[in-house]
Structure formats: structure tokens, C-alpha cells
Amino acid sequence: MTVNSISEERGQNTKRNQEKPARSPEIELSILRFVASGPFSRLFKDGMVLVEETASYLDSLGRAGSKELPRNIDLAYAGESMRLTTRLMQVASWLLVHRAIEEGEISAHEAQNDKYRLGAHEVCSGKPLESIELLPERLRELLTCSEQMYDRVNRLDKTLYSAERLPSEFDTQLNRLHEAFGDGA
């Protein structure tokens, strides 16, 4: 790959990220209903709590504990903690974009742009390392929780922004959640 081809590719990616998606009132309405819902509030809270717990662990007990690991396990720890951090950065970013929609700082239409969508699928959903069972228990717990949170947000992202879905599919699911849990909490 030449420098020119890399520059051209970057330019095309930038143009793609700046292009506005086609307007879809059904998708926009679903997004607006979702961000105003109790399930979104709970998801936001759960996601941010997980981010805080992970940061606390990695900055204290995790850092101290990783220094005591054998070299081959230390490398696995570094790789999996980077995957953990990447997952949670993606989730937090997605949640904050949707909080910004709720607060009127960004439009539901603008949020359909690829740059606001959940990303890093290959890294975040990749197969864990073979030596994962040798990692500290708390790190493995956080990896599992982050994977579940990422998968949850990924399903929501696909459901909310899918042009192929029936316009009322997400709304039907959201209404079921409202009936089961109400808007509170």
C-alpha cells in the first residue's frame, strides 16, 4: 500500500463519516422514544457504573496484581484489559451520544451517522485468549460483564438503526418493556 492510497482511503473514510444518512422518520421516532424511556435510563446507569468499577479496578488492585503475574500471563492481562477498555469506551460513547439526543444536544437524525454508532466490533467481540482462565478472577468478571454490556448495546444499536426492520418492531419491544417495568427507576 502506498502513501497515496492510504491518504485516499483516509479521505474516503472521512467523507463517509461526514455524510448524513437518509432521513427516516420511523427510525428517528424510535430513537427519541428509546432515549426518553426508563430502560434507557437504567442501561445508561448500568453502563456508567461498569465503566467506573472497571476504571477503579484497573487503576488500583488490577495494576498491583498484574505486576505479580508471570510474564506470559502478564501479556494476556495486558491484551484482555485493553479489550475490556475498548469495549467500555465504545459502550460509554454510544450511551453518551444517546444521552445527548435525550438532552437535545444532537438530533436523532445526526446520530444515525456511522461515527456515532457502536464500533470496534472485531476487537470487542473477538475470541478471548487461551490463557484467560489464568487471569485474576475480578478481571475475568469484568470481561464477562463488559462483553454482555457490549452485546446488549450492539443489539440495541442494530435494532434502533436498522433500515430493514419493520417500523414498529422496536416500538413493540419498547412497549413490552414499559408494560413489564414501567417508566420509573
What contacts 90, CB < 8 A, 6 or more positions away? 118, 119, 120, 124, 150, 153
Is 17 inside a domain boundary? no
Does residue 16 lie in a domain region? no
Nearest to 125 by CA among 73, 83, 82, 78: 83
Does some domain include residue 81? yes
Q: Does some domain include residue 160?
A: yes
Task: Kindly state whether residue 14 falls inside one of the protein's structural domains.
Answer: no
Which ranges constitute the DSSP H helices of the chain?
A: 3-18, 25-35, 38-59, 61-66, 71-102, 121-124, 137-161, 169-181
Domain count, the chain: 1
Is the per-residue pLDDT at 48 higher than 50?
yes
Retrieve residue 58's grid coordinates. Answer: 484497573
The reply to whether 10 falls in a domain is no
pLDDT digits (tens, 9 = 90+) for 98-151: 999 999 999 999 999 999 999 999 999 988 877 888 999 999 999 999 999 999
In a domain, 119, yes or no: yes
Q: Is this model's pTM higher than 0.75 or not?
A: yes
CATH of the domain at 105: 1.10.8.930
Domain with 123 in it: 26-174
Which residue bears the cell 450511551?
A: 95
Mean pLDDT of 60-89: 91
Going by the DSSP 8-state scheme, the letter that residue 60 receives in this structure is T
Q: How many CB atoms lie within 10 A of CB 90?
A: 23
